Homo-oligomer: A and B are copies of this chain.
């Protein structure tokens, strides 16, 4: 009954082109036909046809006044459905709620998506100082506890190939932009069991994160707690880190790791 497709040339070009259009629309909130054509590399006629066709299904909308195009609400509906029934979301929710209740800081769940780290769910701290990250956003691999927790948990070769994808951008003065520093940090995370982001992505923000392994033992998700450094002194970081690690292990077990 189960047989997996092997042919790579088994792909519709129109779907690839549609994906190019959507990828272009992701780049900015609202764009003109010209911009979209340029970004997607499609002929203007073709880009317009894709945009109008997608509009019909509300996957693309346009600003009535300016005629510009933007991503449509059908995508929001489909996207909501796409995580609704995932085990990872339902299984980690109780753990996330417990961490939020215990420490009062924001709790985040992320996964790998198209080579990036994407937030799946965010439980926000009730305090006014919070990062304000939203599910669906993508984070840097090397500058967040979520990304580093995943990197530290995966085979070295895989981590290397991800990091080779681009330079280590500096988001703050403490971002680890040197390869050696990062590798050492990942080793520390490995022995410690959780990764630390000490203002490396956002100034004033400290996070601790640990990887979650799926049924096959693959580190596919990561759990983190993040808060302003004023409320996250190093001693507390250790305490929270241990709890995050335990929580991640608990979810891993629930997934059948």
A interface residue numbers (CB < 8 A to B):
1-5, 10-12, 14-16, 18-19, 22, 25-26, 29-30, 48-50, 52-54, 56-59, 65-67, 70-85, 111, 113-114, 118, 120, 126, 134-138
Find out whether the CB atom of B53 lies under 8 angstroms from the CB atom of A22: no
Find out whether the CB atom of A11 lies under 8 angstroms from the CB atom of B75: no
Give, as a whole number of angstroms, the nearest-CB distance from A23 to chain B. 9
Find out whether the CB atom of A50 lies under 8 angstroms from the CB atom of B82: no
Closest residue of chain B to A82, judged by CB?
Answer: B71
Contacts of A4 in B (CB 8 A): 67
Find out whether the CB atom of A83 lies under 8 angstroms from the CB atom of B73: yes
Contacts of A114 in B (CB 8 A): 58, 73-74, 77
Contacts of A67 in B (CB 8 A): 1-4
Number of copies: 2
Find out whether the CB atom of B66 lies under 8 angstroms from the CB atom of A2: yes
Select A82's contact among B15, B72, B82, B85, beta carbons within 8 Å: B72
Contacts of A26 in B (CB 8 A): 77-78, 81
Q: Which of A1, A58, A71, A85 has the most CB of B within 10 A?
A: A71
Cα–Cα, bound, A75→B73 (Å): 11
Given contacts A29-B85, A75-B82, A136-B79, contact A56 B118 (CB under 8 A): no
